[in-house]
Amino acid sequence: MKRHAIDILKEWKNRPDHKPLIVRGARQVGKSYLVRMFGQKHFDNIIEINFETEAWAEDMFAQKKPADTIAFLEAQYKQRIVVGKTLLFLDEIQAGPKTLASLRYFYEQMPDLHIIAAGSLLDFVLHDHKFSMPVGRIEYLHLGPMSFEEFLLATGNEIKLARLKEFSLKDTLNEALHKSLMEDFRKYIIIGGMPGSIQAYIDSGSYLDVQRVQEGILATYQDDFSKYAGRTDHTLLRKVFSRLPLQVGQKIKYVNIDPHERSPKLASDIERLELAKLITRVIHTHANGIPLGSETKSRDFRILFLDVGLLCRACRLDMTEILEAEDLLMVNSGAICEQFIGQHLLYNVPSYQQPELYCWMRQKTGTNSEVDYVIQLGTKIIPVEVKAGVSGRLKSLHVFLLEKQRDFALRFNADITSVVDTVTAVASRESRPFRLLSLPLYMVGQTNRLIKEASQLPDRRNPE
């Protein structure tokens, strides 16, 4: 299965100033598969060292003379390591964390050698390491679940994917194509973006096989708790892990997770799950300027689960209901659509950048307003609303646009594309003109391109 990250790795390989690359992401998102596939296609040979199974590996890489390490590896694996032709792959590097520090010597003494490292639960090492990280001498690639567009490619829908990439707001979206893509979208909601789940569907076409894989992934995550939560109550951590999927789309209140447990313990477990990349906190930003992360209120946040397919499985949602529902708002109150859009927007940044996503919450007595997501594109701050059906009120969006003096908004829903120039409608407030871009849910992968196109269209004022 092709990942778009392959193109990023190809660019990294051909860049003369490349540095040792660390692939970061949750377990089972396909980090090792990606590196192996890349190595097989673009190098003469791969030397793969698994730090969990090779007890000698950390000590060998800890020394400060990379040439000695390379000589040992050639003897150990009976292969020549040739600069530019050999990929050195350090897998499960979290089992030998000091190796990360030693990568500086490879960069300084053997800068042309291609080295990629990957590992599960790597963020725990990076969060609490007791050694000097080689700042400026390594680079990162953040990998999430496969996107909807990668799903289309993997399931043989190259033509549909091409239509998405070619689509212009000046075109009229074909109704038959829209209906077909919405069906693909519903399939993705059930299957999700975990490579193992998608492969199970490709192999058998059975959603039951997909569910078996998903159950195995969720069980594996819980089995991992002992690796990064040795000093915490595993029973409580399991409870938090099982309750959080039900909180997607809502402001997190600890009492909704466990009314009998103290908030600091619950907050600590949420942090552990976030470091494991199983969830992501979508934190409130005041959104008065850029960057969005400069004005946040960390106590106010929503959460995203790792993957929409795993979310459906964890919530025990009925796959038939998802496939046949006329309005997805009736399925889990539309939270699965917020999850779908959120996990795509989260990774809609350069691969070297830490994925992050924000929301907006206005908490005033009798006038609460919440905008699902707030994104930044260049100097633009754009509020994003997600609707599971073809319609829905946008009251909070209007409040945001008025308070922040913004003139552009984005809505995802189940309808076809549209661009409308209209005005805000908030009781007792002076209206403000703005442009609303509406995109079908499945078009999230084209967000940046279509926002730029929509911003350049002539005014088409049509007050509603």
Tens digit of each residue's pLDDT (9 = 90 or more) over 103-127: 999 999 999 999 999 988 888 877 7
> Residues 449, 302: one domain?
yes
* pLDDT score at 366: 63
Q: Give 270-299 pLDDT, tens digit per residue.
A: 999 999 999 999 999 999 999 999 999 999
Contact 279, 304 (CB under 8 A): yes
Q: Give 439-451 pLDDT, tens digit per residue.
A: 999 999 999 999 9
Question: Greatest CA span in the chain, whole angstroms?
Answer: 78
For the domain that residue 83 is a member of, what is the CATH number? 3.40.50.300
Q: What percentage of the chain reaches a pLDDT higher than 90?
A: 81
> Residues 349, 302: one domain?
yes
Residue closest to 458 by CA, chosen among 419, 414, 425, 404: 419
β-sheet with 114-118: strand ranges across: 45-50, 86-91, 114-118, 21-24, 139-142
Instruction: With a cut of 70, say whether residue 168 has pLDDT above it.
Output: yes
* Domain assignment of residue 344, given as a range: 149-456
Q: Give 85-98 pLDDT, tens digit per residue.
A: 999 999 999 999 88
> Residues 347, 441: one domain?
yes
CA–CA dist 447, 274 (Å, integer): 26
> Residues 109, 128: one domain?
yes
Q: Is residue 446, in this structure, part of any structural domain at all?
A: yes
Q: Give 2-61 pLDDT, tens digit per residue.
A: 999 999 999 999 999 999 999 999 999 999 999 999 999 999 999 999 999 998 999 999
* pLDDT score at 463: 45
Per-residue burial over 209-222, b = 16 or more CB atoms within 10 Å of its CB, e = otherwise? ebbebbeebbeebe
> Residues 43, 91: one domain?
yes
**Angle at CA 451, nearest 5°, toward 279 and 396?**
60
Report how far apart, in Å, the C-alpha atoms of 28 and of each of 4, 155, 187, 216, 284 are: 17, 19, 20, 11, 29
H helix intervals, 319-462: 319-324, 335-346, 395-404, 447-456
> Residues 170, 267: one domain?
yes
Q: Is residue 464, in this structure, part of any structural domain at all?
A: no
Contact 2, 154 (CB under 8 A): yes
CA–CA dist 294, 394 (Å, integer): 26
Domain count for the chain, please give it: 2
> Residues 112, 169: one domain?
no
Report how far apart, in Å, the C-alpha atoms of 343 and of each of 154, 160, 273, 277 are: 19, 21, 16, 12
Q: Is residue 439, in this structure, part of any structural domain at all?
A: yes
Q: What's the distance, CA 375 to chain centroid?
A: 14
Q: Return the residue matching tokens 């070619």.
A: 166
Last residue of a domain, one of 142, 162, 186: 142
pLDDT band per the 50, 70, 90 thresholds, residue 64 = confident
Q: Is residue 417, in this structure, part of any structural domain at all?
A: yes
Last residue of a domain, one of 83, 112, 142: 142
> Residues 116, 209: one domain?
no
> Residues 161, 121: one domain?
no
> Residues 119, 233: one domain?
no
What does DSSP say about strands 279-285 and 380-386: parallel, antiparallel, or unpaired? Answer: unpaired
Q: Is residue 275, in this structure, part of any structural domain at all?
A: yes
> Residues 195, 289: one domain?
yes
Q: Give 314-341 pLDDT, tens digit per residue.
A: 999 888 878 877 666 556 668 999 999 9
Q: Give 402-430 pLDDT, tens digit per residue.
A: 999 999 999 999 999 999 999 999 887 88
Q: Is residue 463, in this structure, part of any structural domain at all?
A: no
Q: Is residue 394, in this structure, part of any structural domain at all?
A: yes
Last residue of a domain, one of 98, 115, 142: 142
Contact 194, 29 (CB under 8 A): yes
pLDDT band per the 50, 70, 90 thresholds, residue 464 = very low
Mean pLDDT in residue range 52-81: 93
> Residues 266, 332: one domain?
yes
Q: Is residue 257, in this structure, part of any structural domain at all?
A: yes
